[in-house]
Every structure is written in C-alpha cells, then in structure tokens.
Amino acid sequence: MSSITEKRIPAEVDVRGPRFGAWVSTAVLVAALLASAESLVAAAVILAVQAAVFAVGATLGPRRHPYGRIFATFVAPRLGPVTEREPIPPLRFAQLVGLVFAAVGVVGFAGGFASLGLAATGMALVAAFLNAAFGICLGCQLYPLFARLTPSH
C-alpha cells in the first residue's frame, strides 16, 4: 500500500445535466405560476410535484434526479463528449434550497395565501432560470458558506 495519501475528490457530473434539469424546473415553475391565476389548488399540486423532484435531487443527487435521468437517457447520448464537470455536493445543496422555496410556495398556495405562493415560486423560478440560461447556480454559490457553518462538512 502506498504511503502517499490521495486526496478524495468529490464525484462530479456533466454540467449540461443540471442545466437541463434547471430548464425543466423553469417550465414547471412557470406552469405553477400560470395555474395560480385560475386555481391556487392547481398551483399547489404542480408545485408539490416540483418540490418532490427537488427532494429527490437533494437526497439522492443529480444522477438519480428525475430530470437527470431523462437527460442521461435521452439527451446526453445525442451530445458530444463531456467538456465540463461540476461537483455533486453544491448541486445537492441547490436542490435543497429549491425544495425549501417550493415547500413554502405549496403552503402558500394550499393555504390560500397567494402572495406567499407567488413570491416563493418566483424566487425558485429566478434561481432555476439563472442556472438554465446563464449557468449561474445560486444554491451552488451559497454552498461554501453553508459548508463552513456546518460542522459535518
């Protein structure tokens, strides 16, 4: 056994996968906002589905994320080789942040507090769109602060 201790490098994923997921999330969040004009219950249901997707991403990571699986199965095989990767822990944290906003939005819509539902869904939408369109992952940007403040990281 070598006496050189290798630094453990966190697993990474193709950046195009999370960005694809962010585009799908953007569409679902827009659908929730549009539905809220007709029915807060419908908006709550749509947003609850997205919250469940965020929960899977936060707990199981991008490789098991429903949109990540769609990307890996149907989109990635049609693309060129991976040229850029990103670490998984910040992506999982970003999904947790999305889950919090979506959960607050569901509570708002389901409880008849349209303004709360709209604000929380709008914030999640801004974050998803920034990641999808510009590659700016707000949750990933917050992750280093979270990691410093959490003893287990």
What are 6-20's pLDDT values in tens digits? 455 569 999 999 999
pLDDT recorded at residue 150: 82
Model's pTM, two decimal places? 0.90
Instruction: Give the mean model confidence (pLDDT) for residues 106-135.
Output: 98
> Can you tell me the distance from the alpha carbon of 45 to that of 67, in angstroms, rounded to the nearest whole number?
18
CA distance 92 to 54: 9
User: Which amino acid, one-letter code, is at 52?
Assistant: A
Instruction: Write out pLDDT tens, residues 13-47.
Output: 999 999 999 999 999 999 999 999 999 999 999 99
Q: Are 50 and 97 in contact (CB under 8 A)?
A: no
pLDDT-derived band at 151, boundaries 50, 70, 90: confident
Dist. CA 36–CA 86, nearest whole Å: 35
Which pLDDT score is estimated for 9?
A: 55
**Consecutive H or E run containing 78:** none
Task: Quote the pLDDT of residue 3.
Answer: 43
Alpha helices in 2-152 (DSSP H): 16-36, 40-60, 66-70, 88-110, 114-134, 138-149
- pLDDT above 90 covers a percentage of the chain that reads 88
pLDDT at 129 over 80: yes
Distance CA 24, CA 87 (A): 21
